[in-house]
Amino acid sequence: MKIGIIGAGISGLAAAVRLASQGHEVEVFEANSYPGGKLSAFEQDGYRFDAGPSLFTMPAYVEDLFRTARTPIEGRFKYIQVPITCNYFWNDGTQLTAWADTRRFAAEAERILGVPARRVLDYLALSAKKYRLAGHIFLEKSLHRWDTWLSANVLKALTFLPGFDLFTSMHQVNERWFGHPKLVQLFDRYATYNGSNPYKAPGMLTIIPHFEHNLGVYYPEGGMHSITQAVFGLAQQLGVRFHFGQRVEAITTDRSRVTGLRTAEGVHRFQAVVSNMDVYYTYKRLMPEEKAPERILRQPKSTSALIFYWGVRQAFPQLDLHNIFFSERYQEEFEALERGEIIDDPTVYINITSKYTPTDAPPGCENWFVMINAPSHRGQDWAALIERVRNEVIAKLDRLLGVNLRALIDTEAILSPPEIEAKTSSHLGALYGYSSNTQMAAFLRHANFSRRIRGLYFCGGSVHPGGGIPLCLLSAKITSELIGLSSQS
Whether residues 210 and 262 share a domain: the answer is: no
Q: Per residue in 366-404, pLDDT tens?
A: 999 999 999 999 999 999 999 999 999 999 999 999 999
Which of 192, 214, 236 terminates a domain? The answer is 214
Given a cut of 90, whether residue 152 has pLDDT beyond it is no
Average pLDDT over residues 111-125: 98
The string of DSSP codes covering 334-395 is HHHHHTT---SS--EEEE-GGGT-GGGS-TT-EEEEEEEEE---SS--HHHHHHHHHHHHHH
Whether residues 254 and 275 share a domain: the answer is: yes
448 inside domain: yes
487 vs 482: CA distance, rounded Å:
9
Whether residues 164 and 25 share a domain: the answer is: no
160 inside domain: yes
Given a cut of 70, whether residue 160 has pLDDT beyond it is no
Average pLDDT over residues 192-213: 94
Average pLDDT over residues 167-195: 95
Q: Per residue in 214-254, pLDDT tens?
A: 999 999 999 999 999 999 999 999 999 999 999 999 999 99
CB-count exposure of residue 488 (10 Å: 0-12, 13-18, 19+): exposed
Do 397 and 348 contact (CB within 8 A), yes or no? yes
Do 89 and 97 contact (CB within 8 A), yes or no? no
Residue scoring higher pLDDT (489 or 2):
2
Please give the model's pTM, rounded to 2 decimal places: 0.94
Q: Which residues, other chains included, contact 445 with Cβ-Cβ below 8 Å and sequence gap of 6+?
A: 296, 433, 434, 462, 463, 464, 465, 466
Whether residues 207 and 229 share a domain: the answer is: no
219 inside domain: no
Q: Which residues, other chains included, contact 289 with Cβ-Cβ below 8 Å and sequence gap of 6+?
A: none
Strand 47-50 relative to strand 41-44, pairing: antiparallel
* Confidence class for position 409, pLDDT limits 50, 70, 90: very high
Whether residues 237 and 293 share a domain: the answer is: yes
Residue 445, pLDDT score: 86
Instruction: Please tell me the least confidently modeled range out of 117-131, 204-218, 336-350, 474-488.
Output: 474-488
List % helix, strand, coil for the chain (3-state, nearest 5): 40, 20, 35
Whether residues 145 and 178 share a domain: the answer is: yes
Whether residues 210 and 231 share a domain: the answer is: no
23 inside domain: yes
Q: Which residues, other chains included, contact 162 with Cβ-Cβ below 8 Å and sequence gap of 6+?
A: none
Whether residues 141 and 194 share a domain: the answer is: yes
475 vs 469: CA distance, rounded Å:
10
Residue 133, pLDDT score: 82
321 vs 368: CA distance, rounded Å:
10
Cα 178 to Cα 120, 151, 210, 348: the distances in Å are 8, 35, 17, 23
Which of 194, 214, 234 terminates a domain? The answer is 214
Which of 182, 214, 246 terminates a domain? The answer is 214
Half-sphere exposure at residue 57, Cβ-oriented, CA atoms within 13 angstroms: 20
405 inside domain: no
Instruction: Please tell me the least confidently modeled range out of 8-22, 159-173, 265-279.
Output: 159-173
Instruction: Please tell me the least confidently modeled range out of 184-188, 428-432, 441-445.
Output: 441-445
Average pLDDT over residues 87-107: 98
376 inside domain: no
Residue 204 belongs to domain spanning: 118-214
Residue 442, pLDDT score: 58
Given a cut of 70, whether residue 443 has pLDDT beyond it is no
Domain count, the chain: 2
* Confidence class for position 484, pLDDT limits 50, 70, 90: confident
* Confidence class for position 88, pLDDT limits 50, 70, 90: very high
Mean pLDDT across the chain:
94
245 inside domain: yes
Do 424 and 9 contact (CB within 8 A), yes or no? yes
Half-sphere exposure at residue 285, Cβ-oriented, CA atoms within 13 angstroms: 17
Beta-carbon count within 10 A of 371 CB? 22
Query: What CATH number corresponds to the domain at position 262?
Result: 3.50.50.60
Given a cut of 70, whether residue 141 has pLDDT beyond it is no
Given a cut of 80, whether residue 111 has pLDDT beyond it is yes
* Confidence class for position 184, pLDDT limits 50, 70, 90: very high
Q: Per residue in 300-335, pLDDT tens?
A: 999 999 999 999 999 999 999 999 999 999 999 999
Residue 450 has phi, psi (to 5 degrees) of: -100, 135
Nearest to 195 by CA among 484, 481, 471: 471
432 inside domain: yes
Whether residues 174 and 262 share a domain: the answer is: no
Given a cut of 80, whether residue 147 has pLDDT beyond it is no
Average pLDDT over residues 404-415: 98
Whether residues 208 and 279 share a domain: the answer is: no
Q: What share of the chain has pLDDT > 70, as a percent?
A: 93
Residue 140 has phi, psi (to 5 degrees) of: -110, 0
Whether residues 290 and 431 share a domain: the answer is: yes
- What is the distance, to the nearest Å, from the Cα of residue 288 to the centroid of all Cα atoms in its chain? 28
Q: Which residues, other chains included, contact 384 with Cβ-Cβ below 8 Å and sequence gap of 6+?
A: none
Whether residues 135 and 188 share a domain: the answer is: yes
